[in-house]
């Protein structure tokens, strides 16, 4: 039985390629050891264990952005831990191949307060991170808010334009009744506790709130705790 060697060295010999190309094959998820994909070039293996996929392609691996349905009453930090192979939604139509590296070093962007549920963007992509950080205050978000209580006179008009939060006049937003118990907000620069305060100022108490959209990217039918990839070419 031969002594174990590094996986990238083994793949380089198997594919008659450079070690750098071998590392790209491995990190791209194209190499299996005893039928299990291994993405670590330094893994110790024997040549008989190693298989290179016939569909293997070379190329730099693009950073990923995940769209997660954060459950209510969960911190953002705890929600990040939900991103795993088992929680990828069957509704994901991006056709992006799942790699372990896609689930590491994910930055939560435009984070939700713990009580809220809904769309949370997790990204490794510098362009997405800059967009949702530097332009965060200009990006419209959509929320559905469950409320109870009696709306004060002119309450809808005041919600749309005319309220303060933390001594600051709020910019206009769009608000409408979705049904008798739910309000729908299209709003920018939402701060923690702001929607609860806005509703309280017009006689309503917030029971729950869920973010449906960030810019042009929507939650869709993602189940709580599940995620999908942001498709290539999609923009917030």
Q: Which of 28, 40, 35 is nearest to 10 (CA)?
A: 40
Question: What phi and psi, each to the nearest 5 degrees, are found at residue 140?
Answer: -75, 135
What pLDDT is attached to residue 49?
Answer: 85
Q: Domains plus CATH for the chain?
A: 5-52 (3.10.290.10), 65-136+217-229 (3.30.70.580), 140-214 (3.30.70.1560)
Q: What ranges in the chain are assigned the alpha helix state H?
A: 7-15, 19-27, 76-80, 126-134, 155-160, 194-201
Q: Is the pTM here over 0.85, yes or no?
A: yes
Whether the Cβ atoms of residue 80 and residue 122 lie closer than 8 Å to each other: yes
Tokens of 182: 């739910």
- Residue indicated by tokens 């950073």: 63
Whether the Cβ atoms of residue 59 and residue 44 lie closer than 8 Å to each other: no
What pLDDT is attached to residue 1?
Answer: 55
Question: What phi and psi, each to the nearest 5 degrees, are found at residue 165?
Answer: -145, 125
Q: pLDDT tens for residues 58-67?
A: 988 899 999 9
Q: pLDDT tens for residues 73-97?
A: 999 999 999 999 999 999 999 989 9
Q: pLDDT tens for residues 141-185?
A: 999 999 999 999 999 999 999 899 999 999 999 999 999 999 999
Assess whether pLDDT exceeds 80 at residue 219: yes
Whether the Cβ atoms of residue 204 and residue 151 lie closer than 8 Å to each other: yes
């Amino acid at each position: 039985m031969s002594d174990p060697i590094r996986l990238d060295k083994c793949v380089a010999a198997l594919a008659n390629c450079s070690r750098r190309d071998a590392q790209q094959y491995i990190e791209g998820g194209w190499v299996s050891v005893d039928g299990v994909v291994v993405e670590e070039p330094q893994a110790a293996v024997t040549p008989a264990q190693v298989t290179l996929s016939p569909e293997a392609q070379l190329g730099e691996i693009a950073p990923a952005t995940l769209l997660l349905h954060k459950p209510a009453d969960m911190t953002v930090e705890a929600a990040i831990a939900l991103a795993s192979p088992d929680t990828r939604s069957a509704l994901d139509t991006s056709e992006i191949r799942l790699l372990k590296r896609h689930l590491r070093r994910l930055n939560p962007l435009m984070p939700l307060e713990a009580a809220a549920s809904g769309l949370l963007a997790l990204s490794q992509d510098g362009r997405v991170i800059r967009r949702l950080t530097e332009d965060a205050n200009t990006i419209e978000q959509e929320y559905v808010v469950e409320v109870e209580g009696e709306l004060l006179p002119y309450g809808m008009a005041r919600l749309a334009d005319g309220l303060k939060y933390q001594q600051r006049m709020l910019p206009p937003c769009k608000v409408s009744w979705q049904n008798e118990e739910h309000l729908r907000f299209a709003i920018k620069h939402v701060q923690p506790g702001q929607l609860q305060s806005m509703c309280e100022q017009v006689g309503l108490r917030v029971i729950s709130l869920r973010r449906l959209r960030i810019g042009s990217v929507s939650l869709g039918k993602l189940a709580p705790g599940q995620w999908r990839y942001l498709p290539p070419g999609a923009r917030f």
